[in-house]
Amino acid sequence: MSDDELKEYRKQHHKAYWLKNKEKLRTYNREWRKQHLAEVAEYAREYRLAPLNWLKDQARQIAKRAIQKGIITRGFCKIQGCGEIGEAHHENYDKPLEVEFLCKIHHLNHHYQLTLQT
């Protein structure tokens, strides 16, 4: 089996599994959320209250609005050879209008690497 075939096979397999267990998975998710409602709410509250997260949210919203107004042009992922459309990324949340563009995957990667460093 070639790589592509394997990939396709896995995808189909995954999809079939999901379709077969859709209801079960859905109920499971619902039950999980119900049981962990307090934790989830607590997590969300802490997230919002943490000063750094608040700053991040602000920066993101400012950048988003700037893109909508055309002040910032949405660019392509800055990783060489990627070519995907990017999402705004802040290297410094104190400067909400200084953004770089990274596609979803490279963006996640970048943040993951950042957390590994700290």
Footprint on this chain of Zn ion (rule: CB under 5 A): 77, 79, 82, 84, 89, 103, 106
Are the beta carbons of 102 and 84 closer than 8 angstroms? no
Closer residue to Zn ion in complex, CB, 29/109: 109
If the CB atoms of residues 45 and 83 are measured against Zn ion, the closer one turns out to be: 83
Using the minimum distance from each CB to Zn ion, give the nearer residue, 62 or 106: 106
| Shortest CB 102 distance to Zn ion, Å | 6
What distance in Å separates the CA atoms of residue 56 and residue 50, rounded to the nearest whole number?
Answer: 10
Least distance CB 66 / Zn ion (angstroms)? 15
DSSP 84: P
Q: How far is the CB of 10 from Zn ion (least distance, A)?
A: 22
> Tokens in use for 44?
């969300």
* Cα distance between residue 101 and residue 116, in whole Å: 21
Phi, psi at 21, each rounded to 5°: -110, 15
